[in-house]
Amino acid sequence: MRWDDINQQACSVARALSVVGERWTMLIIRDAFFGTRRFDQFQGNLGITRHRLSERLGKLVEAGVLVKVPYNDRPVRYEYRLTRKGLALYPVLMSLARWGDEWMDKGEGAPLEYVHQKCGHKTHATLTCSECGDPLRPQEVTPQLGPVLQAVADEREQAGESLQGIPPLFRLSM
């Protein structure tokens, strides 16, 4: 499978990576969360080439993560703002930051600390169960087929086909 076709997989991670998997993308999104809006600001902050930045911003707009909003009429100039879809990437960004702080800090500590405005305390991302609130640990979470892959499995079974065509990861709960 070609990388350009990764969004065709029946896998949420693959589909998400089709939008945010390029190495500059999460840095562009990070800067957007920090208030960067204009092309020249993104380029100055990141040191990315104009061509690459234009390409990445275009793909993020096309994917509905950013929206272009005019801020000047003559000449027409645009700024980029996070959409609801883009804002929904905040937990991903915070989780990446926490992982980087824990595993990539070279013993120097976190470059940024985050303060929750509501309570005034420093905070970090945590992953918890949406139902009971307990922390989620890999050894305590079991993947099972969702509706899309279950439908594929059911279709193959009804057609008398082998389920061997479904990757092992997705056969865990079958």
Domain ranges within the chain, ordered by starting residue: 3-87, 90-140
List the structure tokens of 57.
């911003």
Arithmetic mean of pLDDT, 107-135: 94
Q: How far apart are the first and last CA of the chain?
A: 25
Weakest-pLDDT range from 19-28, 46-55, 58-67, 148-157: 148-157
Q: Give the three-state DSSP class for 104.
A: coil
Cα-Cα-Cα-Cα torsion 155, 157, 161, 166, nearest 10 degrees, comes to 80
pLDDT tens-digit series, residues 71-97: 999 999 999 999 999 999 999 999 999
Determine if the pTM surpasses 0.85: no
Mean pLDDT of the chain: 88
Residue 109 DSSP code: -
Q: What is d(CA 143, CA 172) in angstroms, rounded to the nearest whole number?
A: 7
* The domain made up of 3-87 is a member of CATH 1.10.10.10: yes
At 23, give phi and psi (nearest 5°): -60, -25
